[in-house]
A = this chain, B = another copy of it.
């Protein structure tokens, strides 16, 4: 952890790697499905960084393999077909793969085919954490790090304003995911952006909770951003709650002044972005809950937007109360209404960035942390994903 100098108008050459990462970062754990989306015996396909991936749960264990039959290229998940617990078969010609190592172990109608044992589907490391199935996507022989390295930093328990973290024992995670039509980097940058409060000022969540937002927040010293560059998670944290950011409450040229109710009741709210693009918003939508977001690249034009809330639940009653509140308040008002504005904003940027915007944008002082993020990724990313077949 180090205090961090803020720079603006950095030369794009200083984050060239980031500009090439249209298909995502590789060698990271990404969420693939909620656990409830893959029941015992289930089989489902997803796509991450251009790779079709099949998830299968059998006898309580989860497996992840390439979702493209080696024979004639169809998706195995198009029509789930399993004759045994330890295999998955292609619905078309019966090519059958061992779920553990991906080897072709049989062909339904050609049990003695010479191809058997000689070809395989690629497998992916997979693990489940508090109701989310994560897949490790990247190079074949990359030594998989602990998932804690690919989640946001877990603050000490006694830190002031400490909010719920996925790795806390009593944390329950609830959330949704959906496909957004923008590059994943526009998702990350919007999520982490201290300058976009304008789109949220009139949202139900803000009004209903009796809060109000300033026009914006600007860093006032070099402690506004903390960088995590040592072992473990790597990322940046905006220290909003710390006096290092100052609310902007008026703009004289535009004759705007925040209303008397602009009392900035965002005590303890901090936003962090960790590699490979995981947002943590502590004490939001409401302390001590925290919101986590992933912007999982599907291809270079779409990402799967994961929105997850973490809350401590020390009893079945507390869990039930969180589920009730999630269903009737957090999901409709925060994850939908509030974040729908973010989704629209990302999609509004996509045509520009898909046509040379990375070279033609005009960043300003509000974008300091975004530039930091780009340079941070360029410096620390384990690798960048290439377009399939390119």
Residues of A within 8 A of B (CB): 68, 70-75, 78, 81, 83-84, 87, 89, 91-96, 105-111, 113-115, 119, 193, 195-199, 214-218, 248, 251-256, 344-345, 348-349, 351-353, 355-357, 360-366, 389
Contact across chains for B248 and A73 when beta carbons are under 8 A apart: no
Contact across chains for B252 and A111 when beta carbons are under 8 A apart: yes
Contacting residue for A352 out of B72, B93, B197, B349, CB 8 A = B72
CA distance A108 to B355 in the complex (A): 27
CA distance A83 to B83 in the complex (A): 65
Count of this chain's copies in the oligomeric assembly: 3
Contact across chains for A216 and B110 when beta carbons are under 8 A apart: yes
Contact across chains for A366 and B87 when beta carbons are under 8 A apart: no
Residue of B nearest to A388 (CB): B355
Contact across chains for B362 and A70 when beta carbons are under 8 A apart: yes
CA distance A53 to B90 in the complex (A): 40
CA distance A248 to B110 in the complex (A): 8
Contact across chains for A352 and B196 when beta carbons are under 8 A apart: no
Contact across chains for B366 and A107 when beta carbons are under 8 A apart: yes
CA distance A389 to B358 in the complex (A): 13
CA distance A173 to B248 in the complex (A): 49
CA distance A78 to B352 in the complex (A): 14
Contact across chains for B110 and A366 when beta carbons are under 8 A apart: yes
Contact A253 to B106, CB < 8 A, known contacts A111-B248, A348-B78, A352-B68: yes
Q: Which 9 pairs of residues, A with B, have the shortest CB-CB distance?
A: A109-B216, A73-B352, A74-B348, A106-B253, A83-B254, A109-B215, A70-B362, A109-B248, A115-B364
Minimum distance in angstroms from A186 CB to a CB of chain B: 9
Contact across chains for A364 and B96 when beta carbons are under 8 A apart: no
A and B contact pairs by CB, cutoff 8 A, 20 listed: A70-B361, A83-B254, A83-B255, A84-B255, A87-B254, A89-B254, A93-B195, A96-B253, A107-B364, A107-B366, A108-B254, A109-B217, A109-B218, A109-B248, A110-B218, A110-B365, A111-B252, A115-B364, A115-B365, A119-B362
CA distance A105 to B254 in the complex (A): 9
Contact across chains for B74 and A114 when beta carbons are under 8 A apart: no
Residue of B nearest to A114 (CB): B365
Contact across chains for B197 and A109 when beta carbons are under 8 A apart: yes
Contacting residue for A199 out of B92, B193, B251, B349, CB 8 A = B92
Contact across chains for B108 and A215 when beta carbons are under 8 A apart: yes
CA distance A256 to B81 in the complex (A): 13
Contact A72 to B361, CB < 8 A, known contacts A94-B216, A108-B216, A198-B108: yes
Contacting residue for A349 out of B72, B214, B353, B355, CB 8 A = B72
Contact across chains for A83 and B198 when beta carbons are under 8 A apart: no
CA distance A365 to B119 in the complex (A): 14
CA distance A193 to B74 in the complex (A): 15
Taking CB atoms, residues of chain B closer than 8 Å to A199 are 91-92
Taking CB atoms, residues of chain B closer than 8 Å to A344 are 78
Contact across chains for B362 and A71 when beta carbons are under 8 A apart: yes
CA distance A115 to B8 in the complex (A): 11
Minimum distance in angstroms from A198 CB to a CB of chain B: 5
Contact across chains for B109 and A366 when beta carbons are under 8 A apart: yes
Residue of B nearest to A360 (CB): B73
